[in-house]
Structure formats: structure tokens, C-alpha cells
Amino acid sequence: MLVVLCNVTCVTVQAATPRRAAATEAGHSYRWSDAKGVIHFGDSVPPEFAQGTVTELDSSGNVVREFGPQPSVIEQAAETQRTVVGARDRQRDHLLLTTYTSIHDIEDLRDERLSQLETQISAGKSYVEAVATRLEGLKTRLRNFHPYSSNPNARRLPDTLAAELVQTLNEVQTQSTSLLTRQKEQQALRDSFQADIDRYRELMVQQGRR
């Protein structure tokens, strides 16, 4: 087994992690190994090995404590995400249990919310149809003017009519987009309430209730 001794000059004390650098004040040292299995000793740990397993030794060479491999930035981020998701899920469970007394309560609220959205969607559809009808009327009027008329003596398209056509086209597009958004919200609402119902049922089973 190859052992490499490092004195103070061969390591960068400032680069060591705070928890491991502090021990050198009491005359302690560290032991670590590299990727090839070579064991190293020194009064601080080079940054490239700070994430691995490191053993702290006292002045007599006895083991004081051992530090396990440190999680990478990606692993730390994943753990943080798991913690956040877990807290969010626990909060959701608490809200479900304190807000509803049965699945019927959830279904009643779902139906109420869906009914409100359906009213908005129906009104949006009617408005889009009305705007589309107006647009068709404008297109019919266009045929009386140059360059849309087959009459070579037709008058030039009035600016007011051109402006009205552009405005109506924009309005159709805007209202159609708004309608599509409402329909997506409707489906998302169904999915969200179904997820709540499924989770509430699981919680009731866990508590021995229905």
C-alpha cells in the first residue's frame, strides 16, 4: 500500500473545508485516499479530495472522527427538492383533511367551479361566433372594391373598411386564444380535483375511514 505524507507546504489550507481545517488548531491531521487508492496524510485536505471520505487523526495518530463522502451540488439540489416536495405534500394532505369531510364535499366544489368555467366558455363561444359572422360580412363587402372586385372600375378599398377588417381579424384571434385558454383551464381543474379525490381516498383508507 502506497502512503504519501504531505506537510503544510504541499496543501492549500485556505482551500480546505471549514469543518476540517478547524481541527488543525489542536494539532490534528487528516488521512484520505485518492482515486488510485493511495493514502495521503496532511494537516488540511486539498479541495479535490474534500468531497471524499476523510479521517481526522489526533497528534498520536488515533482516529478522532471520520467524515463520509460529501454530496455533490447536484445531489444537494436533489435532496433540497425532495425536502420541498415532501413539505408541500404534507401541507396538501393537511388541507385536504381539514377542508373536506367527505369525497362528496370535493365533488360539490369541483362541480361548482366547473360550472362557473363552463358559463365563461359558453359566453366566449357565442362571442367568437358573433365576431366571425361580422368578419364574413366584411369579407363580402371587400368584393365591391379594388383589388378584390372583378369589376375593373371598382373603387379603391376605403381605409376605414381595411382598418375594420384588421381589427376584426385581431379580435377573432384574441378571443379564440382566450377561449382555448379557458378550455385548458377546465381540463386542468378536472385533473386537479380528481387528484385531490384520489389522495383524499388514500388518506381515508390510511385512517380506516371512508
Distance CA 87, CA 15 (A): 35
Q: Please check the confidence at residue 132 and state whether its pLDDT lies above 50.
A: yes
Q: Quick check: is 183 in a domain?
A: yes
- Asked if 6 and 48 touch (Cβ cutoff 8 Å), the reply is no
Say which CATH number the domain at 110 has: 1.10.287
Element (H, E) at 42: strand 39-42
- Chain-centroid distance of CA 30 in Å reads 41
Residue 67 near residue 49, CB atoms below 8 Å: no
User: 131 and 189, same structural domain?
Assistant: yes
Confirm whether 152 is domain-assigned: yes
User: Is 116 in the same domain as 174?
Assistant: yes
C-alpha grid cell, residue 88: 408541500
By three-state DSSP, how is residue 18 classified?
helix
At 48, give phi and psi (nearest 5°).
Answer: -70, -15
- Asked whether residue 82 is domain-assigned, the answer is no
Does one domain contain both 35 and 124? no
Phi first, then psi: what are they for 154, rounded to 5°? Answer: -65, 145
Assess whether pLDDT exceeds 70 at residue 25. no
The three grid cell numbers given for residue 150, joined into one nine-digit string: 372583378
Looking at residue 34, its amino acid is: D
Q: Are residues 62 and 108 in the same domain?
A: no
Q: Is residue 161 part of a domain?
A: yes
Evaluate whether residue 188 is within a structural domain: yes
With pLDDT > 90 as the criterion, what percentage of the chain qualifies? Answer: 58
- Whether the per-residue pLDDT at 27 is higher than 70: the answer is yes
Would you state the pLDDT for residue 123? 95
Query: pTM for this one?
Result: 0.57
Lowest mean pLDDT across 56-60, 105-109, 152-156: 56-60
Mode of pairing for the β-strands spanning 54-57 and 39-42: unpaired
Distance of CA 14 to the CA centre of its chain: 37
Task: Tell whether 108 and 199 lie within a shared domain.
Answer: yes
Q: Which residue has the higher pLDDT, 75 or 6?
A: 75
Domain residues for the domain of 197 are 101-206
Query: What does the block give as the cell for 5?
Result: 505524507
Residue type, 85: V
In a domain, residue 83? The reply is no
Q: What is the pLDDT of residue 53?
A: 84
Domain count, the chain: 2
Q: Is residue 78 part of a domain?
A: no
Considering the domain architecture, whether residues 63 and 105 belong to the same structural domain is answered as no
Is 148 part of a structural domain of the chain? yes
